Chain A
Amino acid sequence: MTAAAVSTTARPTSEPPPADGLPGTRLLEAYRTMALARALDERCLSLQRQGRIGFYAPHAGQEATLVGSALALEADDWIFPAYRELAVALVRGVPLQTVVDQLFGNGADLCKGRQMPNHFAFRDQHFVSASSPIGTQITQAVGAGMAARYRRSPTATITYFGDGATSSNDFHAGMNFAGVYRAPTIFLCQNNEWAISLPRERQTMSATLAMKAEAYGFPGVVVDGNDLRAVYGAVRSARARAVAGDGPTLIEAQVYRFGPHSSSDDPRRYRSDAEVEAARQRDPIQRLKPELVAAGLLDDATDAKLWDDAKASIAAAVRQAESTAPVDPRSMFEDVFARPTSRLEEERAGALGASARPVEGS
């Protein structure tokens, strides 16, 4: 974890190199995952409105960035997400049911019903626990990258965050540490134009978000986040740089959040329907489809079936999630520490109606 011995001059912000190796079969799989993620998004907003889940943070419009970046990673790479990275988990092989169980916070939720929907954690996929504070995962991703470098592992870490997070303490601290220690970390900024109600142009006076990397001594690139191949290529290059010991990369993926910030947000208060409609013309899923059709991998009939299958699998997962037993009340006191303290045991006994400990017992 020695600091970079020789300072490198930052390369100017530039377009990423073309994508390498995304064969047709993977492209179709990517499309299928994007469709599943989109369908799940729509279903979840409706489940929230019906009061069946407590909250939801949609990602519609960002699927190419999510899926393209995740496809560019290797199994040993570590992911430090924000809360719009559900599709990344799907690409990593997290079963749909496992994702849906978290949204319901039921007894099968790997997080034991402890967090709001979208705040996932999937240990087996190196998908680190998400939290709500903005940007806190960024310094953590850098630390994990530094640790991988210390262990001489050919591992990269990637952290996802939005345009708003580029104003956070941890963005700047993390970028700075990554530059100094040449961490194998990919900073993937999903610039979706809106940090709740604040537009990108009022978040920072920087012409691009990517250019902020220059100040920290490493490359920043802008990529069309609606272009799956472009995102894949940019992350692939950044990953190659990372594991070669050449240090971090900031990628600004330019996307648009079609929906509200969350199920609690009404975007009509701060942006026009016309703006959203214009962005929808650049829908990343609709953009990929013609390519698949031209390659003979998809036609209207198979496309319709693909969407029907996605909806059917979601419906089945929701049914199962709703019929799964709720979280065991006893579990509220677990995982605060590795082993519950006697105080927590006492509180647990009190909360669950058992007699509390005697005055001088322990």
Chain B
Amino acid sequence: MSELTLVQAVNRGLHEAMRSDPDVVVLGEDVGVNGGVFRATEGLLKEFGADRVLDTPLSETGIVGSAIGMALYGLKPVAEIQFLDFVYPAFDQIVSELAKMRYRSGGQFPCHVVVRSPYGGGIKGGLYHSQSTEAYFCHTAGLKVVVPSTPADAKGLLLSAIADDDPVIFLEPKRIYRSVTGEVPDGDHRVPIGEARTVRDGSDVSIFAYGAMVPPTMEAAATLEGEGISAEVVDLRSLVPLDEPAVLASATRTGRAVVVHEAARFCGFGAELAALLAEKAFYALKAPIARVTGYDTPFPYALENLYLPGAERIASAAREAVRAS
């Protein structure tokens, strides 16, 4: 066990994956000499050399397109997109190519690439260093989408992602890269993709969150406890595939559901979760499903704390759900 921050856990995971498998290569902008703008890839160049740690030209389509070619040839590339806000030049490669390669070739050309990217707000990043656009990827068949919220999950999910047979979009909550620390198992620690984690048991309301929204959700749960409301907190961890049994079991048990994400509300991941609950847990619900999300505006610079869900908004939504019946 080691006490690590979330970004250190990502770094540790990359080191271990590269040590255990020479087919694992890392590529992206500033990932080598600079160690990544968030230091997620620090030390990799020194240990593994420029053949395996590639400082690429500034082209996201080049990064993901070449990673796809490497994967087809048999390597296990881990591509970094410096900020999720900059993924769009590679969107065609991810959505049209990576996601569909196995399917469109009738299974002849599996294509396993891990695309890592820091996402989300709360770092004074303004419009283009803050967005949380996981829903685009969740909407595309063929991509797995995971979002850790703890250092242990960051390493465990990353090692699972690198070992997976399918393409994985690995989203790192940069707001809590360094603010969250935790014990991380040494060695080949893996967290299965597709399994949610109940962070806190509760009986009155289920709050579903992921990534950087887990800490404020836990804060809200603590506040609610002081008011006599027992909130269960479920960290989804994996958006695709979604752990539907865990979601349905929790909501069915408490009868109330609050969904939290920092992405915009309209067609956000919470809409899918709310639809799932309405379709499959409707008769167990005692209150309308609530969503606590970012707003349907572009991501604002000066007013980011108004935009981002915080503990009070989350607690308020939970209170309302409990009061409803």
| A positions within 8 Å CB-CB of B | 1-3, 78, 80, 109-112, 114-115, 119, 121-123, 128-129, 131, 133, 136, 138-148, 150-151, 157, 169-170, 172-174, 176-177, 180-181, 334-339, 341-343, 359-362
Query: Judging by beta carbons under 8 Å apart, are B69 and A121 in contact?
Result: no
Beta-carbon contact of B103 and A114 below 8 Å: yes
Q: Could you list which residues of chain B lie within 8 angstroms of chain A, going by C-beta atoms?
A: 25, 49-52, 54-57, 59, 61-62, 64-75, 77, 89, 92-93, 96-97, 100-110, 141-142, 144, 165-166, 194, 241-242, 244-245, 248-249, 252, 280-281
Asked whether A110 lies within 8 Å of B106 as measured between CB atoms, the reply is: yes
Q: List 30 A-B contacts (CB under 8 A).
A: A1-B25, A1-B54, A2-B49, A80-B69, A109-B106, A114-B106, A128-B109, A129-B108, A136-B96, A140-B69, A142-B69, A143-B66, A147-B70, A147-B73, A148-B73, A150-B51, A169-B61, A174-B62, A174-B66, A176-B62, A177-B57, A177-B62, A177-B66, A336-B103, A336-B142, A337-B144, A343-B244, A359-B248, A360-B248, A361-B245
Docked Cα-Cα span, A115 to B96, in Å, equals: 13
Residue in A80, A131, A342 whose beta carbon sits within 8 Å of that of B104 in the complex: A131
Chain B proximity of A16: nearest CB distance (Å): 25
Chain B residues with CB below 8 A from A343, complex form: 241-242, 244
Known A110-B108, A112-B106, A335-B102; contact A173-B69, beta-carbon cutoff 8 A: no
Q: How far is the CB of B277 from chain A (nearest CB, A)?
A: 11
Contact across chains for B61 and A173 when beta carbons are under 8 A apart? yes
| B138 CB → nearest A CB, Å | 12
- A170: B residues at CB distance < 8 A: 61-62, 65, 92-93
Could you tell me the distance in whole angstroms from the C-beta of A141 to the nearest C-beta in chain B? 6
B residues less than 8 Å from A176 (CB atoms): 57, 59, 62
Q: Which residue of A lies closest to B109 (CB)?
A: A129
Q: How far is the CA of A114 from the CA of B108 in the complex (A)?
A: 12
* Complex: A226 Cα to B111 Cα, angstroms: 36
Considering the chains assembled together, what is the distance between the CA atoms of A1 and B104 in angstroms?
29
Q: Which residues of A contact B67 (CB under 8 A)?
A: 143
Contacts of B248 in A (CB 8 A): 359-360
Top 4 nearest A-B pairs (CB, nearest first) are: A139-B65, A143-B69, A143-B66, A173-B62
- In whole angstroms, how far apart are the Cα atoms of A290 and B50 in the complex? 53
Name B245's contact: one of A80, A115, A362 (CB within 8 Å).
Answer: A362
Q: What is the number of contacts between chain A and chain B, taking CB atoms within 8 Å?
A: 174
Q: A174-B65, A180-B57, A342-B244 are in contact. Are A140 and B72 (CB under 8 A)?
A: yes
Nearest opposing residue in chain B for A360, CB measure: B248
- CB distance B281 to A359 under 8 Å? yes
Chain B positions within 8 Å of A115 at CB level = 104
**A341/B70 contact (C-beta < 8 A), A123-B108, A131-B104, A177-B56 known:** no
In the complex, residue of chain B having the shortest beta-carbon distance to the beta carbon of A183: B66
Candidate in A78, A114, A141, A337 with the most chain B CB atoms within 10 angstroms: A337
Q: Could you tell me the distance in whole angstroms from the C-beta of B282 to the nearest C-beta in chain A?
A: 9
Contacts of B104 in A (CB 8 A): 111, 114-115, 119, 121, 129, 131
User: A157 touching B69 by the CB < 8 A rule?
Assistant: yes
Residue among A112, A173, A339 with max Cβ neighbours from chain B (10 Å): A173
Would you call B25 and A150 a contact (CB within 8 A)? yes
Identity of the chain A residue whose Cβ is nearest the Cβ of B249 in the assembled complex: A360
The distance from the CB of B195 to the nearest CB of chain A, in whole angstroms, is: 12
Are A144 and B73 in touch, CB under 8 angstroms? Answer: yes
- CA distance in complex: A18, B97 (Å): 37
From B49, B65, B105, B142, contact of A121 by CB (8 A)? B105
A110, A111, A140, A341: the one contacting B65 at CB < 8 Å is A140
Contact yes or no, A337 B69, CB < 8 A: no
**Contact between A146 and B59 (Cβ–Cβ < 8 Å)?**
no
CB atoms of B69 and A147 under 8 A apart: yes
> Which residue of B54, B105, B244 is within 8 Å of A129 (Cβ)?
B105
A112 to B102 alpha-carbon distance, docked (Å): 11
* Residues from chain B with Cβ under 8 Å of A177 in the complex: 56-57, 59, 62, 66
CA distance A240 to B51 in the complex (A): 22
- Contact for B93 among A119, A136, A172, A180, CB less than 8 A: A136
- The reply to whether B57 and A1 form a contact with Cβ atoms under 8 Å apart is no
Does B106 contact A111, Cβ atoms closer than 8 Å?
yes
Q: Which chain A residues border B92 with CB–CB below 8 Å?
A: 133, 136, 169-170
Which B residue sits closest to A132, measured CB to CB? B96
B51→A1 contact, CB < 8 A: yes
CA–CA, A172 and B65, complex, Å: 12
Chain A's closest residue to B99 (CB) is A336
Q: Are A141 and B69 in contact (CB under 8 A)?
A: yes
Q: Are B108 and A121 in contact (CB under 8 A)?
A: yes
B89 partner residues in chain A, CB cutoff 8 A: 169
A residues within 8 A CB of B51? 1-2, 150
Which chain B residues lie closer than 8 Å to A123 at the CB level?
105, 108-109
Q: Is the CB of A131 within 8 A of B100?
A: yes
CB distance from B308 to the nearest CB of A (A): 30
Residues of chain A contacted by B107 (CB below 8 angstroms): 112, 334-335
Instruction: Find the residue from A109, A143, A146, A177 having the highest chain B CB count within 10 A.
Output: A143
A212: shortest Cβ distance to chain B, in Å? Answer: 16
CB-CB nearest in chain B for A148: B73
Contacts of A361 in B (CB 8 A): 245
Chain A residues near B72 (CB-CB < 8 A) = 78, 128, 140, 143-144
Minimum Cβ distance to chain B for residue A335 (Å): 4
- Whole-angstrom distance between the alpha carbons of A144 and B66 in the complex? 7
For the complex, what is the distance from the CA of A339 to the CA of B72, rounded to whole Å? 18
Contacting pair B96 A359 (CB below 8 A): no
Return the chain A residue nearest B50 by Cβ: A2
Of listed A121, A147, A362, residue having the most chain B CB within 10 A: A147
